[in-house]
Amino acid sequence: MTDIENIPPRTVTPTPDRFSQLSKSLLWLNERAWPLTLVILLTAGVYLYQYIQEEKIPLSITSSAVISALPVMSAILVFIISVLVAFVLLPIFVLFHRLNDSGKRLSDELTLDQTCAEHRTRHRRMLGRWAGSLLLLGTFCAALSVIGSQVTGNWYWGTAAVVGMGLTIAGYYWLMTRGVAGPVSTDFRIACVMSAFVQMVVILNVTMVAIDIAGQYVSNLWWLLPLMLVELLAVWMIQLLGALFVVKMRSHDNPVALVATAVMVLVIVLGLYPTTGAKLGGFAFQVSASGARNCTLMNFVPESKGLETLTDPDRPGFSRPLRVIAEADGIYFVRLWKTDSKAVQFVPRASLVGVDVCPPAKPKTASSGAPAPIPG
**pLDDT tens sequence across 202-228:** 999 988 888 777 766 666 667 777 888
Burial of residue 217 (CB within 10 Å: 0-12, 13-18, 19+) is: exposed
CA dist., res. 197 & res. 203, Å (int): 10
Residues 312 and 275 in one domain: no
- Examine the domain organization and report whether 230 and 159 are in the same domain: yes
Q: How far is CA 320 from CA 285, 298, 310, 327, 360, in A?
A: 22, 8, 6, 18, 13
Residue 372 is predicted with a pLDDT of 47
Q: Is residue 127 part of a domain?
A: yes
222 and 320 inside one domain: no
- 100 and 200 part of one domain: yes
Check whether residue 240 and residue 345 sit in a common domain: no
* CA–CA separation, 265 and 276 (whole Å): 15
Residue partners of 62: CB distance under 8 A and separation at least 6: none
- The verdict on residue 373 lying in a domain is no
Q: Domain check: are 36 and 176 in the same one?
A: yes
Let me know: does 50 contact 277? Beta carbons within 8 Å.
yes
| pLDDT score at 363 | 56
Segments forming the whole domain that contains residue 313: 293-357
Among 237, 263, 283, identify where a domain stops. 283
Based on the fold, state whether residues 255 and 309 are members of the same structural domain.
no
Measure the CA angle with vertex 271, ends 265 and 274; round to 5°: 145
Residue 342's pLDDT is 86
| pLDDT tens-digit series, residues 181-197 | 777 888 888 999 999 99
Q: What is the pTM of this model?
A: 0.78
Is 123 in the same domain as 220? yes
Q: What is the pLDDT of residue 196?
A: 92
Question: 194 and 58 share a domain?
Answer: yes
Report if residue 201 sits inside a domain. yes
Domains: count for the chain: 2
Q: What pLDDT, on a 0 to 100 scale, did the predictor assign at position 111?
A: 73
* Spatial separation of the C-alpha atoms in residues 154 and 300, rounded to whole Å: 48
Residue 277 within a domain = yes
Neighbours of 273 (CB within 10 A): 12
Among 259, 283, 307, identify where a domain stops: 283
Please list the pLDDT of the chain residue by residue as tens digits (376 residues): 455 555 554 444 455 566 777 787 778 878 888 888 888 888 888 898 888 888 888 888 888 878 888 888 888 888 999 999 999 999 999 888 888 777 788 887 777 666 677 777 777 888 888 999 999 999 898 888 777 777 776 788 888 888 989 999 999 989 888 877 777 888 888 999 999 999 999 999 988 888 777 766 666 667 777 888 888 999 999 999 999 898 888 877 778 888 888 888 998 888 888 888 888 888 888 887 888 888 888 888 887 787 888 888 888 888 889 998 888 888 889 998 888 888 888 988 888 888 888 888 665 544 444 444 444 4
Residues 308 and 349 both lie in one domain: yes
Query: In this structure, are 276 and 301 located in the same domain?
Result: no
